[in-house]
Structure formats: C-alpha cells, structure tokens
C-alpha cells in the first residue's frame, strides 16, 4: 500500500478504506457535511485539511489534476494537523523506515509567509524573480570571466590604436584592459545594491544633470590623478637621465683670462691679438654701480629674488612676443645665460634647455648671487671677439671696465641681447640706439635719475677702438666673425692662420686713402672699399672703409648695395650657355616689358649690334632682351652657380643688377672667370689651433668644382677683356698684362663698382657714400677703375705674366651660324628639363651639370631675333 493511501486512510469514520483505494474529498464531504480546506504547509507542500470543529480531522495531499482553491492562506489562523492513526503493522513498518530528510526548495527559503492582504502585483513579481533565479545555473568564476570577455570586446569594439586616435568610446575597464594597466590602478566597480523601491524613487527624483556632472567630475579627478602620477614618473626619469649627462664644471672659475685669439698673416707675422689678451677678470665689487645696474635692468630685473628661473619674466616675455607677433623678448635669467654660455653649445634643442635648467638650479644652490653675477660678467661674449666685460671695454673704449662712464656702460649692457648686431664696430648708431633703451630701463628700475638719463643720451659713448687702428682691423673683425663657424667656442686660447697678405693690405689701404683724398671731395664720394683674393677664393686684402679709426663698419662684407651693370656678365653667360654666341645680333632700341622700359646710360640707341659689343659698351636694352630670351629664372640659376647667393627676384630689371649684394660676394663670383671655370668659396682662414698645438681646423679641398664649360669661359673672357681694352673699363687697363673686368653703376650714381681680374688675382672695388646719396657723375669706369688699376700695378709688379684661361675663335661661331642650336650644351636647357639621372651632386646644389661640351661649335643664335624698335615684351 502506498504511503499516500496510508495517509489518506486515517479518516474520521469508523469504517476502513480498502488497501490501494483512497476516498475523495467529495465522499468525505458528503458523509460529514463539512468542506475540506486546502493549505500550504512548510515542509509538506499543499495539503487538504478537514474541519477542525467536529469529528476527526483528515489530512490529504492535493492530487495532480485536482482543482486547487485560490483562497489565500494565512498563518495566523490555527490549523492543527491531526496525528496519524496507524495500526500495529503500519507502526512497525514506519519505525523500520529511516527518517526522510525534509528538503525545502531553494526558491521557498527566502520567501516569507505573507499576509492575505498582500497585493497580487507584488506576489506575481516575486514569483517571476523566483522562477528566474531557479532557471540560472551556477557557473564557476573563471568561466564567468571567460564568458564576459568576448561580450565586453564585442560591446566595446575598440582597439588600443583606435582609442589613441579617436578617443575613448567604451567603459574605463575596457580601456584599462587594452592598456594593460595593473589591477591595483583600475577603478573599483561599485556593487549593485539590493533592489529598493525607495532608493529607485529617490534616484528618479534627482535631476539627471547633477548625476551626470557628479559622474563626470569623478572621472576627471581619477584621470587627472593618474596622469599626474605617470607624468611625475616620466619627468623624474627625464631629469635623472639629463642629470647623468651634464657637462663638467671644473673650469667654471677659470676666468682670469677670457679666450684669446692670435691672428697670424699668411707670411707668419702677427696681425692682431683679440679677446682675453686685453684684460683679466674683474671682481663685482670693483665695477662701477651704473655698469652693474645697466646689466641687471636690461637682462634680469629680479635677479636677487628668484631661484634660477623667473616665471614672471617668462610670462611677460611670452605676452610681449604674442602681442608683437615676433620674438622680441626672452625670459632667460642671468643664471640661465651663464649656464648656457659657459657649459653648453648654442644649439636650440630640448636637451640643451633641460641641461640649462638643471645647471641653473645647481649654480643657485652652489654659489651666492654676487658670485653668479661676477662669473656672468666675466664670461659673457660681447662681440668683436671680446669675452667678458673687461675685454669688451678695452676693445671698444680702450679703457678698463672699472672706469667706464654711464653712456659706455649702457652700450656694453646693450650688447648682451645680440653682440654681433649691436657691436659698435659694426654700426655705431644702432649701438647708441640700443644704449638709449638700456638707459630707459635703468630709470624705470630706479638705478639712475631722469636727469642722469637725459645727460647720458645727449652725450653718447664714443668708440675709441682697438689699440691697433690701421685697416688690418677690418680683416681681423671679419675673421673673428667667421671663426665660430670653423672652430666653435673653445675654452682655450687659439692661434688662427689667415690668408691675409700684410703687403697687399698696406697697399690697398694706401691706394684707397690717396684716391679719396685726391678725387673724393670733388666727386662727392666719401667712402670706398676693396677686396683682393686669389682665383681660388683666398682673401689677400680687405679694406672696409676710408679709416678704421673713424668708422669700424666694414663696407666690404656688411654693406649691401646694387651691383648695376657689374651683374651683366652672368646674363651673357646664361645666353652663351643657351646657344647664343658673342656674334649674335640684337637690336638696341626702346622696349617695353610689363610697362617698364630700360634706358641706356647716354639715353641713346644704336640699332643692331652683336652681344660682344653690347657687353663691351654696357648697353642696357640688349642685356634686358637677352635676359628675357633666356629666362629670368635661368639667369638667376646661372648667378647662383657662380657664387651669388643674395636674394634675387625675377623682375625684368634683374639684368641691370637691381638687387643688393656685398663686395666680397660679387668679387668671389668673378673668380671662376680667372681660374678656368671653377666656383670658389671666399675664405680667410687656413688653420686654427690651440696654443698647445692641437689642430682644431685645417682647410682642405678646392671648392664646389667646375660650373662653366671651357667654350663659355673662352667667350666670356674674350668679351670681358675687350671691356677693358675698348669699352667702359679702359681706365683700368694694365700695360703688358692680360686682364678682364666689368664696370657697374647703380641708379643716380649712388654706387660705383669695378670688378677685374688677371690670371693671378681677382680684385673688387666699391665707391659711394654711407647714406646712399648720389655722387657727382661717378661711374664704375672712373674712380673705381682708377683705384683698381693703381692697386694691381703696385701688387703685380714683378709677377710673371700669364694669359687668361679659355680660348675663343670667332670663326668657329661664324661657321656654325644658322645651324641648329646646341642640344648638347650642358647649360642650354632649364633645370626642370634635365633628367634626374643626368644630374650630379654638385648639379643639385648649384643648378647645372658641370661637364665639358665636346660637341660641335654652337650656332650663332640661329634665326636672329626679328626684334624691331618699339617691340613690346609681355
């Protein structure tokens, strides 16, 4: 008999139910007249209870398929469970059966008994939760992580590269996973609190903007802290690395003598001594207060209050530079400048700036403010080869720094901003203007009164110059200005072997002085300059003005003037390379190009003439026509190849030399005509060595190489020789010595040039005025040609006669007249038309392939131009 039958068999009647059969509640109700009740009892499930007020109470489980009553169950109503009535046989079987454990379903353990009035909505929601929880299967933690990883990846869909390029597009956890950040640095997720209707309602009432702001602020704070931490680690590593690579500081106090330079001539004689030889270090207490005040007011007004760097000064300089749109002020302190000048190179790199900051902090921690200022004033470079305030004072004013006046102190302090630019030896007026700015700074800083400032500005400093005041100092100043590019800035004294010839230098000075004394006043010419060099570019003499005592401004290398017709040889060289010949005919007639019409010097036109005659007589109209035919850009390329590096614009007047250049550069550009067609680099230093004998620099090599074919060289030398024999340069003709050259005159006779050469020497002469005022009908064929002829006569006496390089046969050009243009001419086509494979390294630098043409002679401009008077060029 089943247990269900046994339990159902204990009834309230005297009769027994047969084994295997149980009576239904309907039968019981019919006998007793009382209804059965359905109840849910913990541990037993759903049971049927009989009436408790009369008769025996029966208990029975609900059978499958029976309709369950929906009457709510309340635990407050007592429903006693009747004991089971078992007979002896059943009791024995029950005792032998082991106790069966009561298993309570997991879902029912957390569900308390509820009141009958509990809303049906809550009961339905709870039942759904129970069913959902029962449906879940327990998963191990590792499996959950593996299952979550692909879901996160699919949800995020962003790699580390995308995160870097496009910004974060996923949660912080996915970004940390892509960055491989350690787990202890990842943000901890907040656990989800148990569902609480009150909390949900409070969150719903809170404004969404505040929640978003709070979340954003939390994220920003976290990322800011993380960035600061990693940034600190990175900065610390950079500082540590640069601290290990700091330069040595043992020579810091070696200021008894600034770096000295001994300039030696080509014959071994001493030209000049500069730098440390002028004076030793001066303690700060021995310097006048106005000199110290001038330096502080100009360079570092808060020197005694900062710790090596000045944030206020940096911010002020940045604001001024931003407002003015240019780099007009700097924020470096005196300590930073000392670190840069003494220990570091002047290159502009981040590494150098970090070293500068570290050394500044080290100097501030190691030395007092007075010691730092003493070091600075005795080690700083102040132009013209002078290192330190004492050397500069003796260099410019021929006195000790202990005795300088207020105007002189202001001029020295003004040099600190840009020593080469504001050096009084370069431009005394610019140096005085800078000194006036320094004086104004001193008044604002309270170092001097307004009355003292007015007196200093009204009586500016006068340049007394170096002890040796002859013209060799022009050459010495130039050599010292280019010395750092050869030897840097070594800490030891140097011996520089130059190319200057003392004999040539004295002759050049004498010739200029005599010519200006003889003709300068009546011709309205107050200044002149001369440069002489060998055909390989070695400068033998340089005179930059009438008197070095009166003006240290070097007009040979610093003054930029228009060369005028002295530029025409490069125009005709481009024409020869393009296939024309000296016998090519063009028409001297008025022309109009872009509403501009050139005029000849005599304002007359002579009609058809050859290029040979046009260059000899310096005809402007034909030079412009040739430039337009060849192309202005091709003319510029030819001039660049020869050595003219000054800015040139492709204007129609380019052929007449309307750009500006220096005498040294123009003279060097004529050197290829004298040396066989090789470009040169003008130089004045052959060797640099320390006093101990260590070689720092030694010149080797001959320059850029060939830039002109032998045929073009012969044609140009033939035409330029005729300029001196029968053209505008007849005044410069030498007796019994082949020479060639070209005159040049700028508009209104403001500048007059003559550049000439022999096989042994190339010499350029310039005559004019410093204020660019017109002279009295001075041309390149008058006073400059006379100075050139006088200098060459004195210096070339006794030198063997040699012919100029290159051969020219007019018959060869005549035979080729009317023929095809020379396609094989190495410079006959624009650079754009040349193949890249046919271009050498020098070609890519200087604009052409320098190779000799071995083809047949070129035609004489086949098909002469059909130019007619009045033809307009567009």
Which of 258, 299, 393, 828 is the catalytic position? 299
Tell how strand 695-698 and strand 585-588 pair up.
unpaired
Are 265 and 280 spatial neighbours (Cβ–Cβ below 8 Å)? no
**Cα gap 732→741, rounded to integer Å:** 9
**Cα gap 743→674, rounded to integer Å:** 17
Question: Token pair for residue 55?
Answer: 């008769």
Are 375 and 253 spatial neighbours (Cβ–Cβ below 8 Å)? yes
How crowded is residue 127: how many other Cβ atoms within 10 Å of its Cβ?
Answer: 12
Q: Which helix (H) or strand (E) holds 520?
A: none
Q: Which helix (H) or strand (E) holds 145?
A: helix 141-156
Tell how strand 872-873 and strand 592-593 pair up.
parallel
Residue carrying structure tokens 């304002």: 603
Residue 180 sits at φ, ψ, to 5 deg, of 60, 45
Which of 565, 627, 653, 746 is the catalytic position? 565
**Cα gap 763→746, rounded to integer Å:** 19
Those residues whose C-beta lies under 8 Å from the C-beta of residue 288, and which sit 6 or more positions away, are 402, 403, 404, 409
Q: Is 351 a catalytic residue?
A: no
Are 500 and 541 spatial neighbours (Cβ–Cβ below 8 Å)? yes
Are 330 and 317 spatial neighbours (Cβ–Cβ below 8 Å)? yes
Are 819 and 726 spatial neighbours (Cβ–Cβ below 8 Å)? no
Dihedral sign computed on CA atoms, order 493, 496, 501, 505: negative
**Cα gap 591→306, rounded to integer Å:** 69
Are 516 and 526 spatial neighbours (Cβ–Cβ below 8 Å)? yes
Output the DSSP codes for 441-488: HHHHHTSS-HHHHHHHHHS-------S--STHHHHHHHHHHHHHHHH-
**Distances in Å between the alpha carbon of 744 and those of 583, 670, 720, 755, 790?**
23, 13, 13, 8, 18
For 649-676, b/e burial (b = at least 16 CB within 10 A) is eeebbbbbbbbebbbbbbbbbbbbbbbe
Residue carrying structure tokens 């002859």: 470
Q: Is 565 a catalytic residue?
A: yes
Are 704 and 717 spatial neighbours (Cβ–Cβ below 8 Å)? no
**Cα gap 376→334, rounded to integer Å:** 7
Residue carrying structure tokens 């004033």: 377
Are 826 and 838 spatial neighbours (Cβ–Cβ below 8 Å)? no
Are 2 and 60 spatial neighbours (Cβ–Cβ below 8 Å)? no
Expressed in angstroms, the distance from the first to the final Cα of the chain is: 128
As beta bridge partners, residue 261 has 274, 494
**Cα gap 188→173, rounded to integer Å:** 9
**Cα gap 144→122, rounded to integer Å:** 31
**Cα gap 729→763, rounded to integer Å:** 14
Hey, which residues are catalytic here? Answer: 299, 565
């Amino acid at each position: 008999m089943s247990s269900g039958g046994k339990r159902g068999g204990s009834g309230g009647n005297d009769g027994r139910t047969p084994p295997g059969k149980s009576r239904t509640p309907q039968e019981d109700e019919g006998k007793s007249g009382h209804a059965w009740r359905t109840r849910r009892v913990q541990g037993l499930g759903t049971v049927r209870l009989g009436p408790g007020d009369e008769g025996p109470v029966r208990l029975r489980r609900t059978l499958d398929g029976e309709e369950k009553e929906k009457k709510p169950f309340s635990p407050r109503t007592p429903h006693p469970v009747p004991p089971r009535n078992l007979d002896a046989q059943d009791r024995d079987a029950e005792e032998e059966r082991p106790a069966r454990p009561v298993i309570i379903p997991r879902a029912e353990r957390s569900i308390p008994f509820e009141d009958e009035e509990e809303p049906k909505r809550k009961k339905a929601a709870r039942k759904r939760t129970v069913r959902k929880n029962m449906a879940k299967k327990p998963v191990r933690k590792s499996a959950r992580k593996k299952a979550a990883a692909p879901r996160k990846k699919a949800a995020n869909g962003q790699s580390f590269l995308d995160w870097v390029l496009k910004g974060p597009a996923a949660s912080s956890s996915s970004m940390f996973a892509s960055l491989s950040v350690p787990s202890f640095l990842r943000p901890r997720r907040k656990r989800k609190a148990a569902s609480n209707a009150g909390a949900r309602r409070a969150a719903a009432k809170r404004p969404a903007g505040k929640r978003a702001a709070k979340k954003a602020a939390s994220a920003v704070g976290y990322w800011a802290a993380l960035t600061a931490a990693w940034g600190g680690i990175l900065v610390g590593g950079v500082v540590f690395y640069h601290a290990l690579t700091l330069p040595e500081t043992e020579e810091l106090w070696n200021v008894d003598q600034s770096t000295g330079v001994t300039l030696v001539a080509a014959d071994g004689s001493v030209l000049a001594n500069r730098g440390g030889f002028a004076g030793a270090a001066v303690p700060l207490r021995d310097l006048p207060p106005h000199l110290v005040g001038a330096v502080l007011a100009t360079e570092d007004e808060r020197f005694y209050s900062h710790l090596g760097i000045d944030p206020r000064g940096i911010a002020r300089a940045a604001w001024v530079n931003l407002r003015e749109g240019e780099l007009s002020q700097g924020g470096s302190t005196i300590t930073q400048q000392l670190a840069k000048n003494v220990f570091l190179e002047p290159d502009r790199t981040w590494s150098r700036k970090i070293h500068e900051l570290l050394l500044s902090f080290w100097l501030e921690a190691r030395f007092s403010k007075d010691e730092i200022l003493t070091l600075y004033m005795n080690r700083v470079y102040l132009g013209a080869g002078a290192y330190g305030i004492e050397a500069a004072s003796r260099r410019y004013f021929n006195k000790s720094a202990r005795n300088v006046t207020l105007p002189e102190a202001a001029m020295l302090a003004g040099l600190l901003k840009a020593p080469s630019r504001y050096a009084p030896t370069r431009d005394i007026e610019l140096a005085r203007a800078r000194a006036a700015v320094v004086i104004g700074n001193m008044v604002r800083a309270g170092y001097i009164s307004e009355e003292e400032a007015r007196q200093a500005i009204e009586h500016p400093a006068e340049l007394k110059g170096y002890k040796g005041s002859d013209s060799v100092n022009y050459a010495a100043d130039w050599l010292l200005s280019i010395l750092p590019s050869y030897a840097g800035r070594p800490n030891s004294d140097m011996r520089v072997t130059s190319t200057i010839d003392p004999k040539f230098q004295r002759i050049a000075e004498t010739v200029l002085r005599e010519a200006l004394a003889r003709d300068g006043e009546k011709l309205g010419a107050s200044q002149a300059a001369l440069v002489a060099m060998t055909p390989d570019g070695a400068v033998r003499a340089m005179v930059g003005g009438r008197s070095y005592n009166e003006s240290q401004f070097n007009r040979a290398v610093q003054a930029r003037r228009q060369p005028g017709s002295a530029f025409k040889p490069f125009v005709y060289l481009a024409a020869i390379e393009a296939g024309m010949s000296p016998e090519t005919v063009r028409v001297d007639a008025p022309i109009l190009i872009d509403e501009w019409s050139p005029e000849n010097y005599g304002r007359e036109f002579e009609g058809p003439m050859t290029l040979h005659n046009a260059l000899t007589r310096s005809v402007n109209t034909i030079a412009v026509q040739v430039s337009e035919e060849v192309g202005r850009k091709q003319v510029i390329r030819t001039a660049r190849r020869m050595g003219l590096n000054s800015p040139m614009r492709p204007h129609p007047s380019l052929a007449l030399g309307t750009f500006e250049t220096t005498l040294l550069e123009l003279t060097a550009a004529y050197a290829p005509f004298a040396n066989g067609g090789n470009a040169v680099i003008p130089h004045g230093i052959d060797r640099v060595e320390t006093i101990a004998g260590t070689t720092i620099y030694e010149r080797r090599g001959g320059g850029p190489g060939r830039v002109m074919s032998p045929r073009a060289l012969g044609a140009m030398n033939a035409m330029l020789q005729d300029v001196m024999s029968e053209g505008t340069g007849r005044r410069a003709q030498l007796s019994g010595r082949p020479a060639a050259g070209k005159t040049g005159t700028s508009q209104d006779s403001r500048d007059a040039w003559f550049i000439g050469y022999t096989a042994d020497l190339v010499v350029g002469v310039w005559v004019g005025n410093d204020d660019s005022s017109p002279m009295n009908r001075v041309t390149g064929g008058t006073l400059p040609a006379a100075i050139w002829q006088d200098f060459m006569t004195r210096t070339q006496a006794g030198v063997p006669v040699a012919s100029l390089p290159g051969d020219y046969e007019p018959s060869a050009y005549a035979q080729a007249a009317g023929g095809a243009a020379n396609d094989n001419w190495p410079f006959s086509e624009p650079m754009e038309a040349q193949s890249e494979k046919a271009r050498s390294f020098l070609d890519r630098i200087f604009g052409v392939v320098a190779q000799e043409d071995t083809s047949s002679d070129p035609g004489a401009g086949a098909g002469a131009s059909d130019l007619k008077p009045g033809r307009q060029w567009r």
